[in-house]
Structure 1
């Protein structure tokens, strides 16, 4: 997958289509919003957001963020739905939650805060909005919703993506401008009362889950400072939908000063947090900015993973010789670090040096059996060496880890085809096209697979594929032109 930020097409039409579909199913009158309504809205919004926004799929990042979210969520009272998290590949300093227990963490937030506690503080606050049902209550207050107000609702949810520039950062801004004329368009902007309540319960969740409560006002102070000294995309877009930070900081500090000393002195090792920051900085930040960050530090202070991060950035800048030198330093001091091994292996794979890449990737996969990326590239090397049985087995494991990744499915289909399994190749290529939002190709490969299905097992695979393609997540407006949709994804496996 490609780690660069995509440049998506505007999505207002797609969002409106989703909203119209939602209205056609549910109607527009809401005397009250039930938990079932929230779950359904959350599901539909999640489908739309995943169809149009770029998401990170790196296991190193996903498992870490999921762990932090789950830890905070463990402090919540019993909920009628699970808390689901995802990482948005966008450098805005933002996070948002939607009805039904969905929470989205932007990579810019992970890079903008200084510790896991601070990341957990934002998560706690957002989950406070969820548990207090602030969105549902605002909808109930409106009693009647129309297309314009629902557009405003989605704009409010996605406002965190606003900002200047020609990428996904201007998404929320475009929607907000388009819906600002309606008086109801801001009805889901959180009120100061909502914010105070989310701060209150969010701080409780933060403390109960074992984090330092000081992290919440610290995070808000970081955002305030960024808004004072920065402009454009660097201003935390979190401020747009979460007003009144100054008075909330005062309130939080007043609450915290009465807490026990052992709570206020809690401290966590920052190793995992810094590892995730390093990989995101190398992948997500402009290569010039990321390189300047590492070059500004004394070389003696750079960790093994820092050297690997420099290697990734130098590779992005097409400075392969310097990149190889950086990876050599990283491997020299971190020969047993699975992330260093993985990134060095990927580098050598992309340089066409499978002999150097293979042992690094294999060792990385042994040290971190859940790292789908190491397995992905190892499977590709095995296929190049004509070990089709081993390559298929390993790539199928990768597909179980990231079942909706179109490129994983594409390579699995290619390997199956090369091995002689033409039916299996068309099945996987149909999945690949479906998850890549190319309806026409998905149907083409489905028809080919249908014509080849003979055994009961093949017919069951075909039925499962048909259910996936015809399921509720299908983009009814997809015209079969996948190129724009491909640009809207954060493609991870290269």
Structure 2
């Protein structure tokens, strides 16, 4: 089976990813939308069988399926941190296209993945297992290296030469790996294709060694500690030993041997020693996820109370106090959380993470107006900030100011058009503001991201019917409706 035929087979009923949209352009914000709706060409930029254009379309399809099949961590503080660390490292990565999409999968398992189309994903569990920011950054640098060297495309070309594989099966494997259910999922792929998908997901030793080498260079050039990579490998090896026959998900696609650990340590030691200090923000975000994945909020409170008394916490006293505040908040002890957060703000009065979490504690105590006042001031100093804007939108809704909440969420949706949660929240805010046209438009964008083009078409038609023929917004809605209708027609051919 050729890859062209395989790509068309994506639209046959019964496949794992049926009727994935041909148009990556549909996930872009209005009104800037590309007009190219043809099947991807092969070869092209970068050479080889798989073009960069095709990689981008594969990436869009993977993200669409991830939205459907995997819970994501929607916490804007977590997502903002991941995006910031990626963009700290990416100037040192040998990549032509440096626009990267990030995603955090809601799973405590240790995992990270790089997908064609410049998508980097991590499980929340990576934060739990990486004890330092240097260790965490080493995994991101390694994934950036895979993207920069186009290892996935090279593996796919090799696979096509030896054992043809449908793109549908390949995408299934990526998604199932990302959500840590690959063993179950691969079993559902018929015949010898299961092994083909598994082989596609496993990078070769030479791929891994190359990604290690390039990743170490990225770390060093970014001012981060290359020694974080062998340290992280050691953590993974310990996890592997503890889990016995159940290989950690990350190691199922990134094979790790003791010789590879030794080689990475030897390479890392060749870089000059220096003082590397973790950013406090990493440990604050890590604390949020430690609370998130605790068995119960009470367990999180107990763990952070014990941690604050330990000698280990002395170097990170603020992170320990913040973690306890987040645990109190989760355990419905918002007043105690507020007290700790105000103590932290007394030392660092403008740290955004503290302010956003304090606002959350105020909302929990039915003091939403105080949260609004706090966050409006913070936003005036940090225009467009994602965590502040997101929490402020929530607070504005709490005090009954739906139009203001909708304005904030509209800005977030424009800035992050591939975040389906912003579109869904915008639809809710528009509904409370009695802007029915806005509800339909936001729901349409949400449906597009989820791959339900027929539902998006219905939403846009309803929006169109409610707008006067001479209204400027009608032309925007009509253009968007035309693009969606064309995509539906293309998918049926």
Query: Which bracket does the TM-score occupy, shorter chain normalised?
Result: 0.7 to 0.9
Q: Which residue of 2 aligns with 1:282?
A: 291
Q: Against the structure 1 CA distance between its residues 88 and 448, is the aligned structure 2 distance closer, same or farther, given a 3 Å change threshold?
A: same
For residue 392 of structure 1, report the CA deviation from its aligned partner.
4.3
Q: Which residue of 2 aligns with 1:212?
A: 225
For residue 223 of structure 1, report the CA deviation from its aligned partner.
0.6
Q: Which residue of 1 aligns with 2:80?
A: 63
Q: Which residue of 2 aligns with 1:134?
A: 151
For residue 214 of structure 1, report the CA deviation from its aligned partner.
1.0
Describe the superposition over 1:52-110 as per-residue Cα deviations: whole angstroms up to 9, x where unpaired: 32333433223322222223221222425644333222222111112232221222112
Q: Which residue of 2 aligns with 1:91?
A: 108
Q: Which residue of 2 aligns with 1:5?
A: none
Contact 1:97-1:126 at 8 Å conserved across structures? yes
- Structure 1 distance, partners of 2:489, 2:232, is 38
Q: Does 1:203 align with 2:212?
A: no
Q: Against the structure 1 CA distance between its residues 327 and 273, is the aligned structure 2 distance closer, same or farther, given a 3 Å change threshold?
A: same
Q: Which residue of 2 aligns with 1:352?
A: 366
Describe the superposition over 1:225-272 as per-residue Cα deviations: whole angstroms up to 9, x where unpaired: 122234799x6321111113311011122223333xxx2224123312
Contact 2:40-2:53 at 8 Å conserved across structures? no
From 296, 310, 331, give the equivalent of 2:342. 331
Describe the superposition over 1:324-349 as per-residue Cα deviations: whole angstroms up to 9, x where unpaired: 22322222332524322322322332
Q: Against the structure 1 CA distance between its residues 420 and 36, is the aligned structure 2 distance closer, same or farther, given a 3 Å change threshold?
A: closer
Describe the superposition over 1:289-344 as per-residue Cα deviations: whole angstroms up to 9, x where unpaired: 5334313223595845544543443444xx42x34223222223325243223223
- Structure 1 stretch 272-281 or stretch 410-419: which is displaced more? 410-419
Q: Which residue of 1 aligns with 2:242?
A: 229
Structure 2 length normalisation: TM-score?
Answer: 0.76
Q: Against the structure 1 CA distance between its residues 464 and 66, is the aligned structure 2 distance closer, same or farther, given a 3 Å change threshold?
A: farther
Contact 1:152-1:186 at 8 Å conserved across structures? no
Q: Which residue of 2 aligns with 1:187?
A: 199
Q: Does 1:375 align with 2:386?
A: no
Contact 2:356-2:391 at 8 Å conserved across structures? no
- Structure 1 stretch 134-143 or stretch 370-379: which is displaced more? 370-379
Q: Which residue of 2 aligns with 1:484?
A: none
- Structure 2 distance, partners of 1:231, 1:296, is 30
From 147, 155, 160, give the equivalent of 1:143. 160
Q: Which residue of 2 aligns with 1:105?
A: 122
* Counterpart secondary structure, 1:54: coil
Structure 1 length normalisation: TM-score?
Answer: 0.76
- Aligned-residue Cα RMSD (Å) equals 4.0
- Structure 2 distance, partners of 1:369, 1:194, is 42
Contact 1:152-1:187 at 8 Å conserved across structures? no
Q: Against the structure 1 CA distance between its residues 461 and 348, is the aligned structure 2 distance closer, same or farther, given a 3 Å change threshold?
A: farther
Q: Against the structure 1 CA distance between its residues 157 and 411, is the aligned structure 2 distance closer, same or farther, given a 3 Å change threshold?
A: closer
List runs of 5+ in structure 2 lacking aligned partners. Answer: 1-12, 24-37
Q: Against the structure 1 CA distance between its residues 472 and 344, is the aligned structure 2 distance closer, same or farther, given a 3 Å change threshold?
A: farther
- Structure 1 distance, partners of 2:62, 2:438, is 33
Q: Against the structure 1 CA distance between its residues 231 and 353, is the aligned structure 2 distance closer, same or farther, given a 3 Å change threshold?
A: farther
Contact 1:39-1:100 at 8 Å conserved across structures? yes
Contact 2:423-2:442 at 8 Å conserved across structures? yes
Q: Against the structure 1 CA distance between its residues 285 and 470, is the aligned structure 2 distance closer, same or farther, given a 3 Å change threshold?
A: farther
For residue 459 of structure 1, report the CA deviation from its aligned partner.
0.8
Describe the superposition over 1:18-55 as per-residue Cα deviations: whole angstroms up to 9, x where unpaired: 68989x95699998223333333333323323343233
From 182, 190, 194, give the equivalent of 1:172. 182
Q: Against the structure 1 CA distance between its residues 463 and 178, is the aligned structure 2 distance closer, same or farther, given a 3 Å change threshold?
A: same
Q: Which residue of 2 aligns with 1:253?
A: 265
For residue 404 of structure 1, report the CA deviation from its aligned partner.
4.9
The aligned runs of 1:115-130 (5 Å cut-off) are: 115-130=132-147
- Structure 1 distance, partners of 2:360, 2:483, is 31
Q: Which residue of 2 aligns with 1:271?
A: 280
For residue 224 of structure 1, report the CA deviation from its aligned partner.
0.6
Q: Which residue of 2 aligns with 1:17?
A: 18
Q: Against the structure 1 CA distance between its residues 303 and 371, is the aligned structure 2 distance closer, same or farther, given a 3 Å change threshold?
A: farther
Q: Which residue of 1 aligns with 2:307?
A: 297
For residue 450 of structure 1, report the CA deviation from its aligned partner.
1.4
* Counterpart secondary structure, 1:296: helix
List runs of 5+ in structure 1 lacking aligned partners. Answer: 1-11, 162-167, 478-494
Q: Against the structure 1 CA distance between its residues 109 and 388, is the aligned structure 2 distance closer, same or farther, given a 3 Å change threshold?
A: closer
Q: Against the structure 1 CA distance between its residues 344 and 208, is the aligned structure 2 distance closer, same or farther, given a 3 Å change threshold?
A: closer
- Structure 1 stretch 51-60 or stretch 445-454: which is displaced more? 51-60
- Structure 1 stretch 459-468 or stretch 444-453: which is displaced more? 459-468
Q: Against the structure 1 CA distance between its residues 438 and 83, is the aligned structure 2 distance closer, same or farther, given a 3 Å change threshold?
A: closer
- Structure 2 distance, partners of 1:181, 1:71, is 44
